[in-house]
Amino acid sequence: MRKIRFWTEEENLFLKKYYSTKGCKYVANELGRTLSAVYSQVQKLRQKRTEYHHYGPYSPQEIIFLKKYYPLNGSRYVAEKLGRSPSSIKYKAKRLRVERKSLLMWSKDEIEYLKKWYNKKRPSKIANYLKRTTPAIVARARMLGLLVRETRKWNNEEELFLIKNFRKMTYKQIGKHLNRTESSVGHKAKAMLTMRKLKTRKWEPKEKRLLSRLYGKISVAELASRLNRTTDSILHHARFQKKTIKGAPAYTEEEKEFIRKNYLQMTNTQIAKELKRTKYGILIKARKLGLTGDPFKRKLPHRVRIDGKS
């Protein structure tokens, strides 16, 4: 059982003296207590932390200072200088009808620096250098017309390079060579496919032999990396030539019975290891056999349903 440590009068006096100025963490470290214990005692004693101590009426000098610096620097700056709260400064500014300027006055040097480096540096770095916020940098750039980006048209040389290296290089590699983004190359490739300027890569006899020899023995990802193709292309061509594939022969009746008996008790990977098949092949065969077991009863690794819903 833990002993309850009650608060003494000295500790309460220490809390009342230093909590308002130095905060909860200082009191907890000095008294050797936790932050939650200090905070609960603060609520019991109804203490408030006040960093700003000046609550009297505004003097004429403070009003002059507020009118001068509030429109440019805001409530926090004026509150720190006058020793008041930001909410009090805002309320007094409303009473005096002093408005905060949304955009500060930009000097000629700042505007020149922004025009020079906006398209070369990030807005955050420019904001740190000019001691401004990134939204202010973006807003000023929009006012100066620096956000307008002209779309760079494709040259004949770039199109020819894309036609030669299509399906041989990735979009990222082509983009690095042409100084373009990966998405730009992908959009251009789709447009050229619809216009029939690009030809799809045909399957060579060597590739077909390698696929028929290794399909079903190696994973589809490894086959795709060897042939420099996508996994969808491998699966599509395997379905198209399923009669001639030697690596994935037709299922025997014994294998079908084994799948029916153990489908609800074993996972697809376990069945694939027993039958020396791929997990994807077991899944397709289960669909053809009409096996739609409950995914919560089966020990599926990712809770995948057979009907395609997850």
- SS3 at position 23: coil
Give me the pLDDT at residue 48, please.
Answer: 58
Cβ-based neighbours of 266, under 8 Å, separated by 6 or more? 274, 299
Cβ-based neighbours of 285, under 8 Å, separated by 6 or more? 251, 256, 259
> Token pair for residue 101?
């300027």
Give me the pLDDT at residue 50, please.
Answer: 52
Give me the pLDDT at residue 304, please.
Answer: 39
What are the start-end ranges of the E strands in the chain? none
Distance CA 265, CA 275 (A): 15
Report how far apart the first and last C-alpha atoms of the chain are (Å, whole number).
Answer: 50
CA 260 to chain centre: 43
Give the DSSP letter of residue 302: S
With beta carbons less than 8 A apart as the criterion, state whether 3 and 37 touch: no
Q: 215 forms bridges with which residues in the sheet?
A: 218
Give me the pLDDT at residue 243, please.
Answer: 40
Cβ-based neighbours of 9, under 8 Å, separated by 6 or more? none
Give me the pLDDT at residue 102, please.
Answer: 59
* Nearest alpha-carbon partner for 113 in 122, 126, 100: 126
Give me the pLDDT at residue 308, please.
Answer: 43
Give me the pLDDT at residue 222, please.
Answer: 80
Predicted structure pTM score: 0.29
Mean pLDDT by 10 residues, the chain (310 residues): 76 83 80 85 70 68 88 81 82 85 73 86 86 82 74 83 82 86 85 72 81 76 79 76 54 87 84 79 83 52 42
With beta carbons less than 8 A apart as the criterion, state whether 146 and 112 touch: no
